[in-house]
Amino acid sequence: MSLLLLYNFGTNQKSVPVTLKVAVSGSGNKILGAVDSFAINVLGINAAVFYQQYFVSLGISRNKTVVVAITVASTALFSLTKLVSKILSFASISTVSVSKAVSKILSFASISTVSVSKAVSKFISVVSTATNSIVKSVMHYVSTVVSSSTASLVNLPNKLLSVISSSAVSVGRAIGKIIATSAEHMIVVLTNTATHLIGFAVLVTSTPVIQKSFGKFLSILSISSVSILKGFFRTLSFVATSTSNITHSLVKLISVAVSSTVSVIKNFFYSRLLSITSISIASIVKATNKTLLVISTAITSSVNQVKKILKIVSTSTSSLVAEFVKIYGAVALYTFIVPSKKLKATIVKALNLIMTKGQ
């Protein structure tokens, strides 16, 4: 049985009840008494809101609409609250707001603000030319966000998240197996992404900031600053043309290639390999690695490195302070300074000093 939903749309009025009708083939129009098991198609030219009583009005939203499928095309404000549906689809040229919607599929296409809160969907797709905000959404499968402006994603447990934005992208506490964030122009901020990420890729032309990320793989390609704080990765790869900062990261493999300053601070890595290629300053402090390789054309500074193999190739000043290395090799083309402190851990303790005078 094919169903077609018809409706009357009140214009320039608020809270105008609209009788929803359904056309059943061969039996004429019928007033829709319940929509729990039917599809609803709404083409709104003004603000439209679903009521539990199946109204369409201009203003305040109501809750707990239960439908199988909802398709909305609106030219004005749209607000849906506590929708339980299998398929929810929007096409709007104005603001779209969805709160506590439980859908298997949630799809947006908007040229204005899109806001999704506590949506439970297996699939969510958002295409917007303005601000996107998705908060506490639980999605099983694929999430795609395409935005030409700010995109903000908070508490997203996804298996796959893909974000393409030409402006700021913010992802907080996302839990996904695979997350791919691609931002073409502006800032990317990833905060508290306590994730079990298998793959995580960031492509930006500006500053990416990642805090407290847990992933198996992280790849960042940036033409500006890169900053990672407290990331726990198996593989971390950087390609940046500007400043890079890595702090408190636990990784097995870290590779950094930048054309500007590189700073690695207090990385208590269980890294098997740390490789840094920089044409500017490279500074590494308190990194614990098995292998460290630094290639720099400018100043290289390594402090308190504990590792088995350290190799530094520098075309400028190299400074190694308080190093403990088992195998130590270094090549410096210009200046090379190794303080007389311990380059190798001693086994026999020297607890007695023999005082001499003028000798």
Partner 1 sequence: MAESFSYKITTESELLTFDFGQVLSASETISTAVCTIIVLNGVDSSPSSMLIGSAVISNQTASQRVANGVDSVTYRLVMTITTSQGNTYVGLGDLDVYTSADVL
Task: Give the footprint of partner 1 on this chain (CB under 8 A).
Answer: 268, 286, 288, 304, 306, 308, 322, 324, 326, 341-342, 345-346, 348-357, 359
Least CB distance to partner 1 at residue 204 (A): 35
Nearer CB in complex with partner 1: 30/344: 344
Least CB distance to partner 1 at residue 359 (A): 8
Nearer CB in complex with partner 1: 278/289: 289
CA distances from 74 to 17, 207, 230 (A): 18, 36, 44
Q: How far apart are CA 272 and CA 308, in angstroms?
A: 10
Q: How far apart are CA 6 and CA 56, in angstroms?
A: 12
Q: How far apart are CA 61 and CA 113, in angstroms?
A: 17
Task: Give the helix/strand (H/E) hosting 221.
Answer: strand 214-222
Q: Which amino acid is at 228?
A: I
Q: How far apart are CA 258 and CA 280, in angstroms?
A: 8
Termini Cα distance of the chain = 107
Residue 197 DSSP class: B
Least CB distance to partner 1 at residue 348 (A): 8
Q: Two tokens at 65? A: 């609409």
Nearer CB in complex with partner 1: 186/306: 306
Nearer CB in complex with partner 1: 64/341: 341
Least CB distance to partner 1 at residue 255 (A): 23
Residue 23's DSSP bridge partners are: 4, 29
Q: How far apart are CA 60 and CA 48, in angstroms?
A: 9
Nearer CB in complex with partner 1: 107/289: 289
Pairing between β-strand 114-117 and β-strand 48-50 as defined by DSSP bridges: unpaired
Least CB distance to partner 1 at residue 238 (A): 26
Least CB distance to partner 1 at residue 353 (A): 5
Least CB distance to partner 1 at residue 85 (A): 55
Nearer CB in complex with partner 1: 141/270: 270
Residue 296 DSSP class: E
Nearer CB in complex with partner 1: 66/303: 303
Whether the Cβ atoms of residue 63 and residue 27 lie closer than 8 Å to each other? no
